[in-house]
Amino acid sequence: MLFAASTQRTIGLVILAIVFFGGLVYIYFNIRSARDEIGSELELASNRKPYLSDEDLEGKKLDLALGTSLVLLTITAVTLPLYWLGEPGRHEGRDIDTWRIFTNRGEEIYVEGAQCVSCHGPEGSGGAVSTAITSASGEFVAQVSWKAPAIDTVLSRYTEDEVLHTLNYGRNGVMPAWGAGGGGPLTDQQLEEILFYLRNIQITEDEIREQVASGVEDGAKDLIMATSDESWAVDLRAAQASADEAAWAVRLIARDEFGFDCAAADGVPECDADMAAREALKTSNSAADQPLQSAFDAWWADVQSAQQTAREIALEADPSLDDGGNEEKWRFAALEILSTPDSFEGQAAYLQYGEILFANEAAAGTYSCARCHTYGWSFDATGPYMIEANGTDEAILDEYVQGGGFFGPNLRGGSTLDQFETAAGHATFIERGQAMGAPYGRGGSGGNGQMPGFGPLTESNPQGPGMGPGTGVEFRYPALLTADQIDAIVAFERTL
């Protein structure tokens, strides 16, 4: 690159020198021949210098002039189209360069400059930040670990302008404000560079489906573990409780005597008890693997059969639903039934499925609704949760209320029924999300577009650009949730 640039420059300088000195030589001779004429003024009038005769002009001189023009014309005729042919390539080259440079700079900011990586994980895969919870009056309550959602899917749920809004102004005090607009340290250009990087780390549809499904499986297994009456589940709960108790005892001892380090507490009976309890838990855990998997499979079959039952009930009420072309009508008729409490026996599993999706833990909660609609979910204050850091054993929250509202509004007590008259309208809203400044539902205000769109992308949430020019990768941002998954969440929300 450097070599090429300096060669070009050298050639340019040489040509400039030739033109310059050639010009000087020309002027010199011109002036000299003009001077020569001075003496001839006696024979000729001053403006009557005889020029070449016709014979001289039409001979070699004319041939030379014409020949030279022909050569120059040929050169122009050949090189211009060649230059033109190379133009798209040059454009593409420049695009690729911009794309590479911006992406690299964005990565540099993500990893080093702003250290997004410390909270959002490598390549935006999700993480956590340690933060202090304070009471309404500003008193310290507890130090907690707050989920920082994966942002390797962020362009599936937000337009780039909406992402810029969060980057500029931060969120809830846990996501810092980065842009100059929000008093942060980064310039608009640097935010733009981060966007380039984000475009390049977005994961594929298959990866999204897999993550959502594994979050559902984990959530369902937790639910089964917590509620099943089977003996293996009862035993496992007991083992878990005794391990927790031992761990708690050890933590209290370690905190008082060893500064949180059980390794330094070798030989302390409580520490040994904790180790034994953990070993026992591992054994009972693996013994429960098989029955837990079977219980999960049975639950999943219940979910699907509930969906099927709702479709059948809908069809009974309106036999035209299975005429061709009525698929969407059928979907929403079934959803209306699933969203009405106590519609039929077996509906419960379906509503559980909705709640598990609502609070999906996968990828640091990136697919969940609870992270914005339930206070405490992001720092795992979902159960009887004890404060350790400040040494008391009071719960952080008086009450944990699923869907009770936080960054997004309260969804309980029929409020979503008021906002969206039909389950279909409700589902469409979840699919598209809140477009910046646009009203929704009956009285939804036009906010900053911070309610993400979870469904296949539509006009209000347009598909993103290709992955980058010249890479051969055309990347379209896929939906976070399928229509089936959105329906289950809607049914859950409408029965809250």
| CA angle (299 as vertex; 294, 300 as ends), nearest 5 | 100
115: contact with ligand HEC by CB under 6 A: yes
Q: Which of 133, 142, 144, 148 binds ligand HEC (CB under 6 A)?
A: 148
Report the alpha-carbon angle 383-386-392, nearest 5.
155
8 A C-beta contact, residue 263 and residue 275: no
- Judged by CB under 6 A, the residue of 133, 144, 155, 167 near ligand HEC is 167
Question: Are 486 and 455 contacting, i.e. CB atoms less than 8 angstroms apart?
Answer: yes
Shortest CB 285 distance to ligand HEC, Å: 30
Does position 430 interact with ligand HEC (CB under 6 A)? The reply is yes
Burial class (CB in 10 A: 0-12, 13-18, 19+), 240: middle
Closest to 283 in 3D by CA, of 234, 236, 250, 218: 236
DSSP per residue, 354-369: HHHHHT--HHHHTT-S
**Complex with ligand HEC: residue 284 or 410, whichever CB lies closer:** 410
Query: What distance in Å separates the CA atoms of residue 495 and residue 401, rounded to the nearest whole number?
Result: 14
- DSSP conformational letter for 410: P
Instruction: Choose the binding region for ligand HEC from 271-279, 311-319, 380-388, 415-423 (rule: CB under 6 A).
Output: 415-423
Binding mask 186-215 for ligand HEC (x = CB under 6 A): --------x---------------------
CB atoms within 10 A of CB 88: 9
Residue range at the interface with ligand HEC (CB under 6 A); choices 24-32, 65-73, 171-179, 289-297: 171-179
**Candidate ranges 65-73, 141-149, 254-262, 315-323; the one touching ligand HEC (CB under 6 A):** 141-149
Under rule CB under 6 A, residue 416 binds ligand HEC: yes
* Helix orientation angle between 160-169 and 188-201, rounded to the nearest 10 degrees: 130
Residue 178 engages ligand HEC in binding (rule: CB under 6 A): yes
Binding status of residue 114 toward ligand HEC by CB under 6 A: yes
DSSP state of 20: H
Tell me whether residue 156 or residue 347 sits nearer to ligand HEC (CB atom).
156
Q: Which of 98, 118, 227, 290 binds ligand HEC (CB under 6 A)?
A: 118
- Least distance to ligand HEC, CB of residue 370, Å: 8
* Token code pair at residue 11: 């050639």
Q: Rule CB under 6 A: which of 267-306 touch ligand HEC? A: none
Please report whether residue 451 would count as binding ligand HEC according to CB under 6 A. yes
- Is residue 445 within the footprint of ligand HEC (CB under 6 A)? yes
Nearer to ligand HEC, 196 or 454 (CB): 454
Which 362-401 residues touch ligand HEC, going by CB under 6 A?
369, 371-373, 378
| CA neighbours closer than 13 Å in the CB half-sphere of residue 126 | 17
| Whole-number Å distance between alpha carbons of 456 and 458 | 6
Q: Is 193 exposed, middle or buried (0-12, 13-18, 19+ CB in 10 A)?
A: buried
Residues lying near ligand HEC in the complex (CB under 6 A) are found at 114-116, 118-120, 129, 146, 148-149, 151, 154, 157, 163, 166-167, 171-172, 174-176, 178, 194, 369, 371-373, 378, 407-409, 411, 415-416, 419, 430, 434, 441, 444-445, 447, 450-452, 454, 489, 493
